Amino acid sequence: NAGVTQTPKFRILKIGQSMTLQCAQDMNHNYMYWYRQDPGMGLKLIYYSVGAGITDKGEVPNGYNVSRSTTEDFPLRLELAAPSQTSVYFCASSYWGQGNEKLFFGSGTQLSVL
């Protein structure tokens, strides 16, 4: 199993540009998540999904959109990039149930908005 795969690994955007961060998992997990991590800080939850067709906002959803058309894929869309969105983005997945959730993380996408 590849686990959680994120692409691209690095990206530089200009202010106002749009892009999609891709995330795929091959573990048949029902839950998927998008986090951002600013330097020296912990992770902040952007959006999560409990299954195909179901998404919900996390702590910091503004400026982002997500969709979950399949169990495997959970792309994150930035519509109008702003410097405040410069961060490292992590996608994760888990099988949720009975307090035994373990999150499996991708290797991250380093995004700079200039």
Partner 1 sequence: DAKTTQPTSMDCAEGRAANLPCNHSTISGNEYVYWYRQIHSQGPQYIIHGLKNNETNEMASLIITEDRKSSTLILPHATLRDTAVYYCIVRVKPSMDSNYQLIWGAGTKLIIKP
Q: Which residues bind partner 1 (CB under 8 A)?
A: 4, 35, 40-45, 48, 50, 56, 58-59, 88, 90, 92, 99-108
CB 50 within 8 A of CB 31: yes
Report the nearest approach of partner 1 to the CB of residue 8 (Å). Answer: 15
* DSSP helix/strand/coil, 29: coil
Q: Tokens at residue 89, please?
A: 């983005």
Q: Read off the tokens for 48.
A: 């999560």
Smallest gap from Cβ 80 to partner 1, in A, equals 26
Minimum gap (Å) between residue 57 Cβ and partner 1? 9
Nearest to 78 by CA among 16, 32, 31, 4: 16
> Is the CB of 14 or the CB of 42 nearer to partner 1?
42
